[in-house]
Chains A and B, each alone.
Chain A
Amino acid sequence: MEVASSSKSDEMKPTVWILAGQPVLDEVIAPIYWGLEEEGIPAELREVSGGSAESLARQAAGSSPLNVGIGIDGAGQTVALHHRDLSVGKPLLSLAADELRPMLLRQLGRNAARLVKGDPLVLQNEDAARTEVQHSTKPSHNEADELQALIVRIVTELLQKE
């Protein structure tokens, strides 16, 4: 996995920015990268000292030439996807600690790329959910329920906005 260095010279490369608080956990970062890579959108990772996932995501979106950023908080507890035009504190998608599994992380990466491309987001994918259930190391997880919970949360957030 290529992790770009944070030199000033490549700041204007068209990439999705990922800002991650230390320590950066590979099992969280890698699936996000794969989601972006499968969709063909480059990303670059910058490590920072701290901050909430939402504020890091907003910051990343503000700096990304593609206007899309992902934030991962220092403890590796939460992940958020943000767009530069969205208000602070209102990320497009976010994942809580108990949602940080490969399938959902990859989906978040995929959605970051799709946000750049203007393609419909993948919010429900039963095939992928089934695949994840079959190969999950923790078979007790019910992906479908969690997906539903995620969607309920997104909808609730949106409703609160209005």
Chain B
Amino acid sequence: MAYIAGVDIGNNSTEVAIAQLGQSGEVRFLSSALVRTVGIKGTVQNAMGIIDALDLGLEPLSIERHDLDIVLLNEATPVIGDVAMETITETVITESAMIGHNPSTPGGQGLGIGTSVTLDDLERVSTDQPWIVIIPEEMDFREAASRLNRATSAGLDIVGAIVQKDDAVLINNRLHSPVPIVDEVAHIERVPMGMVAAIEVAGPGKTIEKLSNPYDIATVFGLDPEETRRVVPIARALMGTRSAVVIKTPQGDIQERRIPAGKITLIGQERKTEVQVQDGAEAIMHQLDQVYPLVEIEAEPGTNVGGMFEHVRKVMANLTDQPVSSVRVQDVLAVDTLKPQMVLGALAGEYTLGNAVGLAAMVETHKLPMQRLARKLEEEIIVRTIVGGIEAEMAIYGALTTPGIQPPLAILDLGGGSTDASLIDEAGVIHSVHLAGAGDMVTLLIDTELGLEDRELAENIKRFPLAKAETLFHQRHEDGSVQFFHEPFDPRLFGRVVVLAENGSIPLDTRESLAKIVAVRQGAKRKVFVRNAIRALERVAPANNIRLISFVALVGGSALDFEIPQMISDALIEYGVVTGRANVRSTEGPRNAVATGLVLAHVEKQKE
């Protein structure tokens, strides 16, 4: 009778399976454990985490570490992924020309077109044209309202106002003849005087109609076709807002500028091609298919993508003691995305959605120094430690313990840095691939599209569902269900969209609706995982035909995600494949596949 431990060192977690081998060669699994991986996978720092995990698994069994006969490590796949974002368009306003923001409470309603003038200058202007009045923050709203009323009584035609403070409703309520008013314009000093301005406020629950339409802007300002073309970014930026101001300045210009994002060179076994990053994700992925199988990818130095490529190469080179020049980028996943950007030269913190391309890269090399780690561990725990088998193969053996499965079986390992697939055919032959783009890419896309600039928050949005605290005592979940509480919410949560994270609700400081955030989150997961699931399965499938695979089992951390398995299942249903989360040893779910496979493979080898 002998005790065996299988140990799987992953990028994020280290898993252990402990089993007992009977006299007649029967295997009985006794326990499993999971801890965070210490250090980068494949390095000697991992030993600490492995010992922790072993102790955790042994503790309930009352077995000591030295009672183990053998510890089996996985031949960890030498794959590292990284992600980067390249912005390819931005909107630049060379002279103040646009205000398009959503103050929570604008005043009045309708469209007003007139010439901009300060409240102080109002007494000196003529009555023969309409005016739009600029009201700085020093001005009390009562004083502003009474001056506007006096001016109107004196025969001036006032058609709108732009206010620095949050006073629009207060001013409007005190006007004898209400006009549209936009407030909370932070940089009111940048508003040019004596220029034609248009101001529009929509009714409650509606969005502006005129200033978000390029032809209406052309009508208001008498623009020629070339000028109309140039106001398209304005109109687009104003779509969906409740209030807006557009001012025409003689030199003012608004441009949608394309930022040179550099090119990447895809080198295949037979041919080589260059593609401009600014051509977008589809162009990059199309070219990638053309040159497949890939040998190397190069990016222009000085660009974000170039920097990211250098970084993954360096990390891998350090890890494996190889020169940087010998590490090759073997796959990329490009995804089109939108990035909210502050408009340069804006008046009230407006932003537009610039186009961006997200890129994930994957480097693969010969072997990680697993032997070194095995020796180190052996010294520490004085138990024979060997490298038991290749990760991808072990995962298949582990996944095969799932009830209801048989070859040809493919597994999809949805990780943080890479998406891996392996296939075992009826003859027991195993093929595997590693593709760039996985959980970290999803986090990057969420971070970018919501303009969070907070990876940790983006990670939480990725992992947990949302809810909104609708009253002090109940919250509505994103699926529409309602949950009541006995204690009132923290006032900081009230009315906000919150992430239902493990350690409590995290309020989001954003005006984006819950539905929008859910859409961004699900979109990011589809763009990465569904696309990669198809890409990976096509490469391992017999004759590249997914229909020839009978069973697909999801393993790895992202298989535990609350919506990714369903998305992949939805995508694969049309291929007639049975798709689901693995249930390793009928008890472990999608976890522990590799550790379990190591034990089983070792026992098989002993028998031979």
Question: What's the Cα separation between A135 and B138 when bound, in Å?
Answer: 7
A38 at the interface (CB under 8 A from B): yes
In Å, the complex CA distance between A40 and B141 comes to 16
Interchain CA distance A38-B490 in the complex, whole Å: 24
Flag if B490 contacts A158 (CB, 8 Å). yes
Asked if residues B491 and A118 are in contact (CB atoms below 8 Å), the reply is no
Q: Whole-angstrom distance from the CB of A142 to the nearest CB of chain B?
A: 19
Q: Are the CB atoms of A131 and B137 closer together than 8 Å?
A: yes
Chain A contacts with B in 62-83, Cβ cutoff 8 A:
83
Residue A47 lies at the interface, judged by CB distance under 8 Å to chain B = no
Whether the Cβ atoms of B491 and A154 lie closer than 8 Å is: yes
CA distance A131 to B105 in the complex (A): 18
The answer, yes or no, to whether B473 is at the interface (CB within 8 Å) is yes
Once bound together, how far apart are the Cα atoms of A118 and B494, in whole Å? 7
B173 and A119 within 8 A (CB):
no
A92 to B492, CA, bound (A): 11
Contact A38 B166 (CB under 8 A): yes
A26 vs chain B, min Cβ distance (A): 13
CB-defined interface of B467-485 with A at 8 Å, one 1/0 digit per residue? Answer: 0001111000000000000
Per-residue A-contact encoding for B24-67, CB less than 8 Å = 1, 0 else: 00000000000000000000000000000000000000000000
A138 to B487 Cα, complex, angstroms: 39
Chain B stretch 123-181: residues in CB contact (< 8 A) with chain A: 137-138, 141, 165-170, 173
Count contacts on A: residues with CB < 8 A to the other chain: 29
A162: chain B residues within 8 A (beta carbon): 487
Given A34-B170, A119-B495, is A86 in contact with B488 using a C-beta cutoff of 8 Å?
yes
Q: Which of A19-51 contact B (CB under 8 A)?
A: 34, 37-40
Judge whether A131 and B104 touch: CB under 8 Å: no
B168 to chain A: which residues have CB within 8 Å? 38
Which B residues lie within 8 Å of A117 (CB)? 495
- Scoring B residues 578 to 602 as 1 if CB is less than 8 Å from chain A, else 0, what string do you get? 0000000000000000000000000
Question: When chains A and B are docked, how far (Å) is the Cα of A128 from the Cα of B166?
Answer: 9
> In the complex the two chains form, what is the Cα distance from A92 to B488 in whole Å?
9
Contact of B105 (CB < 8 Å), options: A38, A90, A120:
A38
Which residue in B167, B473, B495 is a CB contact (below 8 Å) of A120?
Answer: B495
In the complex, whether A123 has a CB less than 8 A from a CB of chain B is yes
Tell me, in angstroms, the Cα distance from A158 to B492 when the chains sit together.
11
Q: Please report B residues at the A interface, Cβ cutoff 8 Å.
A: 104-105, 137-138, 141, 165-170, 173, 186, 470-473, 487-488, 490-492, 494-496, 507
8 tightest A-B contacts by CB? A120-B495, A120-B496, A38-B169, A119-B495, A118-B495, A121-B491, A38-B170, A38-B105
